[in-house]
Structure formats: structure tokens, C-alpha cells
Structure 1
């Protein structure tokens, strides 16, 4: 425990983080990528908000969505689990809400946290209030918000989805399908188009000191945020500095064969006016540093290379290393103004 305390204090200039002396950070994404970012960020700030995609249509989330017409709770649940503390209370609750039932009946593979979140949505009739209540129960080190209060469908234009017609562009529907699609994803869209953003999510982005986008499934978890007009506008208008955090490896299916710089190019295609201050990448995941720096310059960003992968698990982030990398970027680029 002493060793952990020393490392975390180093992140804040040799002193423990004090309320009123820490950056306001908003992290956008979904799934395991966002969870990795949140697990790291809660180590360096106590003022943290997650804004989460709501287009999941697979597994427990998809079943609840189809049966009850609710937002898919799965990525929201994962974000809440990532914000649980490292003490006994936090570890216990993180395990409880991630627990999945094993049965031969209707509860099979439903996650406890999904059922809890949906129950509170039905009881309270308010997505944000219910998620805040779950966060207080868990002792979460931050807030979790959906990017929209409307259940969304993700569609993708995919070249070569049918191997027999490699040049043909076809439409693939559903986040779970897009994530694993063969062929090359050209563009993604949301149904309904131009959905409303959750006002609290927009306000958090506008009030932030730092906004972190990614890592995560690029087309199905990261880019959807840029397809919500109010949220995209807030990302472009905020005075916060912006970090784009890249994945450790291409994802089989939707970004298979993508170079790090290709990730930047497709993001810019979906939000051409969005600029960044820094692009964070693992130093061992960048075979062509020059090309990545050129692509980052098109976004107004510099490239920050750092070891952020877990030892022996090249596709998993190490939370301590990722926290150190974020902290170094925050310090390098300075403050917009006094941290509240």
C-alpha cells in the first residue's frame, strides 16, 4: 500500500490530490477501452465524468433493450465498475455488478449491474439520476452519463463485406455486427440520425479542463460520440484541452489492418472540424512514427509516445502506466486556468 501511495502522490507534485486543486476531466468512449481510461484517470483526479455510447445491441444489454425499450446498460455498467475504488468496498461492488448469472433459464448471462441500472431507471424515470444513485452506492470515483437518452442503432457502410464482391459497399446494421464485420468500414451512422445529447454530458464537456477521447472500438464506441450534433459541437467549442488515446492494436473486424495514423484519418472524416492537443500512443504499437506525427498535425496535435501496455498482454493497458502518461500530458500542456 505504501508503494502505491508514493506513486500516486508523484502524479500530483508530491502532494495528495486536494479537493479544489485537480483538473476536471471528461472521458468519452465505451466498452473495455473506456474502462481502461477511467481506471487510469481516477488515479490522478477526483473530478471525473464518463460519457458513454448507447448503441450496444448484443448480449444482456441487447436483450433488455429489446424487451423493455431501455437504453443498453452494459457499457454504463462497465464504466461504473471501472470507477470503483481499490478498497474492499470498491472491489466487492465492482465484482457484484459485473457478475453474470449462469442458468438454463431467462437470467442466463444477464449481468447484475444491468438489472440494477434498468430497475432504477424504471423506479426513478430519470437516466442521470439513476446512474448517479448507482454511483453513490458503489462509491464510484466519478460520474457516468449516457451520451444520449435515446437508444441508438449503429449502421456502417462496409466495402467488401461480401468476400465475393470485394469492391461493393453494403450497409451493416447493429453495433455487435459492425464490431466484427469483415471488409473495410468506410463510414458509420446513427439511427435515428442527429439524436439529442444528454444535457449533463454537454455541460460536462464544456466545463472540462481536459477531454479524453478513446481508446476503444473505433467505429462502434469512439466515433459514435461525434455523430451526436450537440456533443460534437461541445467537443469543438470547449476550452478544454483534448487528448486522443489510441488503441494498442487494431481490432479484429472493424479496424483490422489499420495503422495508428489510419485511426486518426477516419476520425477526422467523421468530424473534420474537431482538433486535438495530443495523441497518446504506446511506443511499441507505432511502426511508422513519422506518418503518425503527420496525421496528428492535421488534427492540430502532437504525438506523445509512452509505454502503456500491460506486461505480457499487448492488447491491455496497464492502469498505472496509462495514468502516468495522462498525467505527463496534462502537465506538459499546462492548465487552461486554475483547476477547480
Structure 2
């Protein structure tokens, strides 16, 4: 696939960021991932609590997405993602998490440790944490039996009810300086897809990082999810996802909102109004792995992002169906 010559920084976490990085590494000449550090479940949560470190899981996922397609890259991708079974203390731990945390302990520097893992993998980009300290997410939820407060990423992600607001603890954590520099210097900034309240919105709740993202509005691409996520955004329309971003960052503006074709089949006018409120253009593309899927097809997403990054304004064949500029 043809590269654009552009540099890009992608923000998010988990499977959503993995999808955008898998696509972007084929079209961006320089690529940096900025990753949420709020995970408190599974292997990451155990290591975070036991060793007082950043949760490594989403960082590991980002590194695995940047592994090459050759035998070296694919072997190391499998090594990173390998999880131990059995009944002992290692049960459930991902080998990549242990490797990352071991390097942090050895080097005493989170960024240096991640860079070292990247060198080992021959990663096609750099992975950085959004903050230099672990973060907790708290959400206010309108539940069937009344208002509730969800504490931590796992509780927020599985909340039963509509999330009305989210906050970080600490409220003003230190941003990773290298992450701020990446956002300021990249040709393009890509936010989403991913778990909206636990992977995407946290970047806009960290004050320094939000200012950096807002300042890049003329080069900001928002990639919408394919479907609403049960627990976090159940019942949300594409327009609701954009409204949630503006609730936490009213000053947010964007260059492009990228949506799957299925997103405009219903309530198209609402989506176009939400895009216009951001001062953005709407680009519609077939980026799902198959109709009704919640997973992006990496090749289709790469082509859609290539069109945006190359400034081709929607041209690119059947995969990019149209580009709707702001009215």
C-alpha cells in the first residue's frame, strides 16, 4: 500500500488503538502511539497493584500492533501476547506484560523501557504512555435503580446504565512529555476507535494532553466505532459518541470524522450536525471487517486513513464512498 509521507500520532487504548495502529503503520512514514494508563483489571491490574507501576497491558497491545509482517515481527507479536495457563502465580499473566515491567524495574524509566521493547521487536513506530503515573477512572452512571458511581476501568466498562460523566484520579496527572511532543509535532493526530469512556475520552480529561489535542484540531481525525459498546455506550448513536467528546472538551474541533457506511444508514442528519459542530468534514467508508461487525478491517481502515492523510478528499475507489464537507 502506498505511504503518504506523513507522520501520525494515534491515541487510545486496547483493541481500538490496536486497530488504528495496525492500519496506520502501513500508510504513515512515522508513527507514535499514546496509550491510556487506567487499566485495573486482569494481568495489568495485578502488576499495577503489586509493583506500583503503570498498567502494561494496553501498552503491550500497542507494541504488538507495530510488529512487522515478517517472521521476526510475527514471532515477537505472539511472544508478547502469550498468556500463561495453569494454577500458579503466573496464571493469566501476559508474557509481554512481564517483559515490559521487568525492563521498567531494570531501567527505572517507563519510556526507556518501552523504547527498548520496541527495539527488540523492530517495531514500526513508538509507544508512549499518556501519563507518567497510573490513573483511575470514575464515572457517574444513571442505572435502572438510580444514580451510581463506578470506580475504576473495569467497573466503568461494565456499568449497567447510561454514563453521564467521567473523571480522572488524580484530576491533573502529569502528562508524559514525550507524548505531548508527539502530539504537537505530528502531521496528523488520530483519536479513536475504542472503548469510548475508558480508552478514548481519558486523553481529553488529562489537562495538558487535552490542550495539545485541541491545538491540533486542524489536523485531528476522529475515527468512530462501528457499533455501540454494551456497558459503556449502549444505545449510543454515532452522533452521541461525538457529543460525549464535546461534553468533556467543548472547545474541541476536528479536521475529519471517519465513519463506517453503516453509521449513516440511520440518523444521518444527526451525525452530520454533530460533525458540523466540530467544524469537521464527514468521510464515509466501508471499514468494517464484515457487515454488522464491531471490528475494523485493517486493510480497509488503512486505505480510508491513507486518503485522509494524503489529503485526497474522499477519492480512492469503492472503499471510500464519499466525503461530506462541513456545511
- Secondary structure at the aligned position of 2:124 is classed as coil
* Matches of 1:194 and 1:271, distance apart in 2: 15
* 1:115 aligns to 2:94 (yes or no): no
Instruction: Give 5+ residue unaligned stretches, structure 2.
Output: 314-327
CA RMSD of superposed structures (Å): 1.3
Counterpart position of 1:292: 271
Contact 1:246 1:281 in 2 (8 A): yes
Distance in 2 (alpha carbons) for counterparts of 1:46 and 1:330: 11
Q: 1:235 aligns with which of 195, 213, 231?
A: 213
Deviation at 1:291, TM superposition (A): 1.1
Give the Cα–Cα distance (whole angstroms) in 2 for the partners of residues 309 and 137 of structure 1.
32
Q: Deviations over 1:282-303 (max 9, x none)?
A: 0013322221010011011111
Output the CA distance in 1 between the equivalents of 2:148 and 2:229: 20
User: Does residue 313 of structure 2 align to residue 331 of structure 1?
Assistant: no
Alignment check: 8 A CA contact 1:84 1:138 kept: yes
Alignment of 1:119-158 (within 5 A): 119-158=102-141
Mapping 1:172-211, distance limit 5 Å: 172-211=150-189
Matched, 1:247 2:225: yes
Shift of 1:208: 1.0
**8 A contact 1:310–1:318 mirrored in 2:** yes
Corresponding residue of 1:44: 27
Matched, 1:320 2:299: yes
Q: Shift of residue 46 of structure 1? A: 2.8
2:13–2:36: 8 Å Cα contact kept in structure 1? yes
Deviation, 1:333, is: 6.4
Distance across 1 between alignment mates of 2:268 and 2:257: 12
> Which one of 53, 71, 77 corresponds to residue 70 of structure 1?
53
Moved over 3 A (4+): none
**Cα deviations across residues 14-43 of structure 1 (Å, max 9, x unaligned)?**
xxxxxxxx2110000000000000000000
Distance 1:221 1:94 in 2: 22
Alpha-carbon displacement from aligned partner over 1:196-227 (angstroms, at most 9, x marks no partner) = 10000000001011000000000000000011
Q: Could you tell me the TM-score, scaled by structure 2's length?
A: 0.93
Distance in 2, Cα, partners of 1:47 & 1:240: 19
- The corresponding residue for 2:322 is none
Of residues 255, 261, 277, the one that matches 2:255 is 277
| TM-score normalised to structure 1 length | 0.89
Cα distance in 2 for partners of 1:131, 1:249 equals 32
Identify which of 305, 313, 328 aligns with 2:284: 305
- Partners of 2:127 and 2:248 lie apart in 1 by 25
- Matched-pair contact (CA < 8 Å) for 1:207–1:238: no
Number of residue pairs aligned between Structure 1 and Structure 2: 312
